[in-house]
Copies of this chain bind each other. A is one copy, B any other.
Amino acid sequence: MTDKVLQLALAQLNFKVGDLTANLAKIGEALDEVSQSAPECELVIFPELALTGYPLEDLVNRPDFFLELESIEPALLKLSKKRPFLLGRPVHHAGAIYNAVSLYAAGEIISTYHKQNLPNYGVFDEKRTFTAGVEPTVVEFKGHRLGLLICEDLWSADIVQATAKAGADILIGVNASPYEMNKLGQRVGILAARCVENTLPLVYVNAIGGQDELVFDGNSMVLDKKGELCVRLPHCEESIEYVVFQGKNVLTKLLPNEQSLYAATYQALVLAVKDYVNKNGFPGVILGLSGGIDSALVLALAVDALGAERVHAVMMPYTYTAEISVEDAKKQAVDMGCAFDSIPIQPMVRSFMGGLEPLFANTGRDTTEENIQARCRGIILMALSNKYGKLLLTTGNKSELAVGYCTLYGDMCGGFAPIKDVPKTLVYELSRYRNSLGPAIPERVIERPPSAELAPDQKDEDSLPPYDILDAIIDGYAEQDMSISELVAQGYPEESVCRVIQLIERNEYKRQQGAVGPKITKRNFGKDRRIPITHGYLQTILASYKAGQ
């Protein structure tokens, strides 16, 4: 066993899916920065699939993708003459594609490890594109034996143990692990268990950055052989930090201040907005500001992500819009310093009601008329988005998306949905958190009872259970797969439970046409939850529940 000193750099960086040129440049810049900041550093560690970004989805199945990868290989080998590095990348081997990590050093690839544990649940589809490796890999490096692992491998005690048995004295896991509330503690617990099980230290390097519905949050870590956390890198920020080992001992101590869950979540959402907008090359964003709390929170997120000068807020009042909504919307926009316009929608709504009159004769008012209002707003916002090239942010929250309390092609219009995975109760918490940093959302917006303002004196709670109950039922049914009986046994009113799950199932078609937005909960309405539109399961469980009463 060695007691040699080894200095590693943890390169927690933001790579872009498929942009090999930009990612190669970023790798080169990181190596340069290490040369300047820590010339004695012996190895730079990049995250999982850093070379290509993660997840590649079906792009990795394209033969031309591998031709591109081959063509930049000489540049990587050349970079490795500056300083050795561990780089996550997809590899082709014997007709199969692996999620791999390679040790590049002195112009050569010294070793390549193939990920063994391929996640194929939740948001992950790795078995669709990758073949699983079958062997541990321990590589000799400057007198140390580095056990290479990739992300989900660390979740498997057996895989890590096999790597330890193969002779590793330091475990190194490269990751692309997306943010989820309360996952950081879970990660630390799992990683500590792996250290303790094998009496080995562990280096955990995670990516950061927004990628469609995922936000990689960083929080890269080093734990010692007793499972103690010694080093943690920042949340949702690029960072390169240096860690010194002596044999199996971690000599570095570097822990950030603890952060509240709301702060961490807010920052993840800001990063998601920033990266979606910038990685897709939009000059800025536009959003509809209603005077309600959802759009107010989205405006704050957008301004924090992009700066006020890239944000355009538009109020679109109608007959049912309260005067205080107009006041509060304008106040927030002015306070935050972003562009603000108001376009009343009476003429547009009137034109549709006129054109439809012959076909609506002898019918009563219903949600059709409410949807027309929402859709006129959608057309205006999309016209502005089309004319000026700005991305339209849609402002719906998870609770309304769950039960369909939103208008498809209306307020659901938009390319990115920053709070689509934020339940309404959490919208309030995040708004209060944001205001604790400095004035952003007018207090009255937070205190007013929520209303869609699509009918006279409308309140959300006229149509829906109170949000604390609604959110709990949504979480129980859609995120925890609880049955009707279990939810009723937990004390939620039977009528509300049955109604909410009906709404959830009946609105799958809307969600499947909704914009993408960042996952922050255990199960989002996106890749995490894949349910058919056409199915009779709802009838089955309702009939069965009623028969059991």
Binding site for B on A (CB under 8 A): 16-22, 53, 55-59, 61-65, 67-68, 71, 120-121, 125, 127-128, 210-212, 275-276, 279-280, 341, 343-345, 347-348, 350-352, 354-356, 358-360, 363, 366-368, 371-372, 375-376, 378-380, 382-384, 386-387, 408-409, 413, 415, 481-484, 509, 512-516, 529-541, 543-544
Complex: chain B residue closest to A344, CB-CB: B355
Of B62, B383, B481, the residue contacting A481 (CB under 8 A) is B62
Going nearest first, the 4 A-B pairs with the smallest beta carbon separation are: A19-B536, A18-B537, A64-B483, A18-B535
Q: What distance in Å separates the Cβ of A130 from its nearest Cβ neighbour in chain B?
A: 11
Q: Are B19 and A539 neighbours in the complex by a CB distance under 8 Å?
A: yes
Q: Are B352 and A379 in contact (CB under 8 A)?
A: yes
Q: How far is the CA of A53 from the CA of B537 in the complex (A)?
A: 10
- Interface CB pairs A-B, < 8 A, 24: A16-B534, A17-B534, A18-B535, A21-B539, A21-B540, A57-B530, A59-B535, A62-B483, A63-B481, A64-B483, A64-B541, A120-B128, A125-B125, A345-B355, A347-B355, A352-B383, A359-B384, A367-B386, A375-B375, A375-B379, A378-B409, A382-B408, A509-B516, A512-B516
Nearest CB to that of A356 among chain B residues? B383
Q: Is B368 a contact of A356 with CB atoms below 8 Å? A: no
Contact: B359 with A352, CB < 8 Å? Answer: no
Further pairs besides A21-B543, A22-B536, A127-B127: 11, Cβ < 8 Å: A17-B534, A17-B536, A19-B540, A57-B530, A62-B483, A68-B544, A125-B530, A279-B536, A350-B351, A368-B387, A371-B383
> What is the bound-complex CA distance between A21 and B378, given in angstroms?
41
Docked Cα-Cα span, A17 to B534, in Å, equals: 7
Q: Which residues of the partner chain B approach A513 to less than 8 Å between Cβ atoms? A: 513-515
A382/B371 contact (C-beta < 8 A), A356-B343, A483-B64 known: yes
Chain B residues with Cβ below 8 Å from A481 are 61-64
Q: How many angstroms between the C-alpha atoms of A58 and B504 in the bound complex?
A: 14
Specify which chain B residues have a CB less than 8 angstroms from the CB of A22 in the assembled complex.
536
Residue of B nearest to A375 (CB): B379
Contacts of A541 in B (CB 8 A): 64, 68
| Minimum C-beta distance from A27 to chain B (A) | 15
Whole-angstrom CA separation of A61 from B121 in the bound complex: 11
Q: Do B386 and A371 have beta carbons less than 8 Å apart?
A: yes
Question: In the complex the two chains form, is B387's CB within 8 Å of A360's CB?
Answer: yes
The reply to whether A544 and B71 form a contact with Cβ atoms under 8 Å apart is yes
Inter-subunit contact A372/B368 (CB<8 Å): no
Residues of B within 8 A of A276 (CB): 534
Closest to A276 in B: B534
Q: Contacting A63 at CB < 8 Å: which of B67, B211, B483?
A: B483
CB <8 Å contact, B368 and A383: yes
CA of A158 to CA of B543, assembled, Å: 44
Q: Is the CB of B64 within 8 A of A534?
A: no
Chain B residue contacts of A212, Cβ below 8 A: 532-534
Contact between A19 and B352, CB atoms less than 8 A apart: no
Q: Contact: B384 with A356, CB < 8 Å?
A: yes
| Cα of A68 to Cα of B375 in the assembled complex, Å | 40
Within 8 Å by CB of A532, from B55, B71, B384, B529, lies B55
Which B residue's beta carbon lies closest to that of A19? B536
Chain B residue numbers with a CB within 8 Å of A360 are: 387
Given A63-B483, A343-B355, A483-B67, check contact A531 B57 (CB 8 Å): yes
Closest residue of B by beta carbon distance from A209: B534
| CB–CB B383/A372 < 8 A | yes
